[in-house]
Chain A
Amino acid sequence: MSNLLEVSGVSVTFDGFRAINNLSFQIGSAEMRAIIGPNGAGKTTFMDIVTGKTRPDSGKVLWGEKTQNLLKMSEARIAQAGIGRKFQRPTVFEDQSVRDNLMMALQNPRAPVPVLFWRPARKDSTRVEALAEQIGLADALARKSGELSHGQKQWLEIGMLLAQEPRLLLVDEPAAGMTLAEREHTTDLLKEAAKSRAVVVVEHDMEFVRRLECKVTVLHEGSVLAEGSLDHVTANQEVIDVYLGR
């Protein structure tokens, strides 16, 4: 199986602190992966590197069949290439309606002049309504997204990710601050998404990770400590020592 994303030997240092240390990571084109690890293990920094926010000191990040080098691309270009990201705290445009939020994320030309003359076609409106249905916000399309509950904002952000139709989704702590029922809905959304694309979920909550039923990568001090099924890694003595045992 060829890899969609291949990170090899990446290191990054912030003011002498080595946040990522010779990290290597691969994911296939229709795969779900959970990344767990203690605070400061480099989970968010890893996402920053893949999405172009942080430039690593060394290493390679290769993308897709044509093995493009992501390190040479701007954030916007990386997003256009098909990498979507959901942040830890829900970041939606609170001043704008749910519909506008989703419309902005829809896969359409991104350059200023085409956007200036762009008006939603019927298929765009249909797509937005279908997405809203999927994330349980069909009744809230006209509402300002700032009025939504915390859980609904998280879903809206996942909906915006899906609207981008990325080939790789990077999801940072999707279940934080959600009720039990909301978590189940979120799990379903992510599992559905992983059928056709790669999904990387960073999560602290072991119960949530168990429900995702996927391969798990454990990060510690900026490099991979263990990889495999959840049962496999939780049986690993090193993992118990640095993460689970505390």
Chain B
Amino acid sequence: MRQSFIFRNPSLLIFLACLAGFTLAITLLSHAYGSAFISTSFVKTLGKTLCLCLVAIAMDLVWGYCGILSLGHFAFFGLGGYMIGMWLMYARTELIIVQSLANAPIPATPQELRDAIGTQIFGVVGSADFPAIWMFAHSFWAQMALVVLVPGLLALVFGWLAFRSRVTGVYLSILTQAMTLALSLYLFQNESGLRGNNGLSGLQNLPGVTASQDFISIWFLWASALALGLGYLLAAWVVSGKFGSVVRGIRDDEARVRFLGYSVEGYKLFIFTLTAIIAAIAGALYYPQAGIINPGEVAPIASIYLAVWVAIGGRGRLYGAVIGAALVSLVSTWFTGGLVPSIRLGFYTIDWVDWWLVLLGLSFVLVTLFAPKGIGGLVDLIAGRLVPNRHGADYGPDTGSLQESEGRE
């Protein structure tokens, strides 16, 4: 009774269909390709939300399936953003400089050109020289490779050190928080070579592209939707077979998996690095839509939010992570955007921009206490009402009665 991959994961088709439908609908309602019903800034918000859903899938893989509560995955997300940001900034500044020097009587030498770009980019931190880490910034493909390589290597080295020493549970969570805090503090320094607390900006402008933001925003929405779909497919495939069994086994009883002969450390390292790379790709798509990245993005709180999204959505199921990330981040945008009317109590006015975090914290506590499966658990509730899973048991009292396999037909 071997079943195909799709049949064993019915949520996969539903998810991909929803994603395709959503993308199409937004396209048809956008300024660029449709009725101009949705503003370009909202298209960007939706595109960014898709990227957050992708990083939530990574979090669900590492936490919901493998049981590693990593509170540092936004460090990889941010690093991915920085890597693509370096190329975007360099290439765009180069274009501007070349244009402004075009009318000069004597053509600029490559060195002059490079110095001018350096002054333009690093003027804000009182410097004009390119730091060594910008070595590849002029090359699109090299910088694209770094989007995957830098966060991947960081995760590999960090994970190897942590898992080899058998750091687990809350200690590992603290360690990952320390990692993302250290990264953020390092990036805040002007000497880090990534413009300190100014971060990288102007990322929404694609070098050499003359189309307006109306079009660019839709292109990024498509790219984000494609990445999310592929990421979902990859994650579903990874957890579907025996690998998924082992990984969930590690979550439930690490020692037992070890005595079965599986090297738990190797599996953890694999999942940790894979999810770091997924997070980095999500970040590389997110920050061109956000337009700016600064060290505040990799602050410890960001990774905690990520865990909250996945917990609210329902960990241990991929669509739960997506629902959680999409819902919480969109509602968060709504509340913190000042769009929700304040509640006047007479003696006090509840201003949602301030009180939203309290509401989020409260809902996190409530979900943890009363619905540990999260919003995704609702799906079980509905599916259980329709077709109770009998796990192959007979319907009736004896063996002559209808079998489950017959009932399915």
Contact = CB atoms under 8 A, between A and B. Distances in A.
Interface of A: 51, 53, 74-77, 79-80, 84-85, 87, 91, 93-97, 100, 103-105, 110-113, 115-116, 118-120, 125, 139-144, 147, 160, 164
Contacts of B255: 53, 75
Nearest to A92: B256
Contact of B246 (A74, A94, A115, A147): A115
Nearest to A166: B261
A112 B266 contact: yes
A105 B263 contact: no
A93 B391 contact: no
Q: Which of A79, A93, A100, A111 has the largest number of chain B CB atoms within 10 A?
A: A93
Nearest to A105: B260
A139 B264 contact: no
B188 to A, nearest CB: 36
A79 B391 contact: no
A79 B258 CA distance: 8
Interface stretch (B83-91, B235-243, B291-299, B364-372): B235-243
Interface residues of B, number: 26
A116 B392 contact: no
B260 A104 contact: yes
B267 A79 contact: no
B253 A75 contact: no
Contact of A79 (B242, B243, B252, B259): B259
A95 B248 contact: yes
Contacts of A97: 391
14 contacts: A51-B259, A74-B258, A75-B258, A76-B262, A79-B258, A79-B259, A79-B260, A84-B259, A93-B252, A97-B391, A110-B262, A115-B243, A119-B241, A143-B391
B242 A76 contact: no
Contact of B391 (A75, A111, A118, A144): A144
Given A110-B261, A125-B2, 20 more contacts: A74-B263, A75-B255, A75-B259, A79-B258, A95-B248, A96-B245, A96-B248, A97-B391, A100-B245, A103-B245, A105-B260, A111-B266, A115-B243, A115-B262, A116-B243, A120-B242, A141-B392, A144-B391, A164-B260, A164-B261
B249 interface: yes
B392 A160 contact: no
Q: Which of B241, B249, B256, B260 has the largest number of chain A CB atoms within 10 A?
A: B260
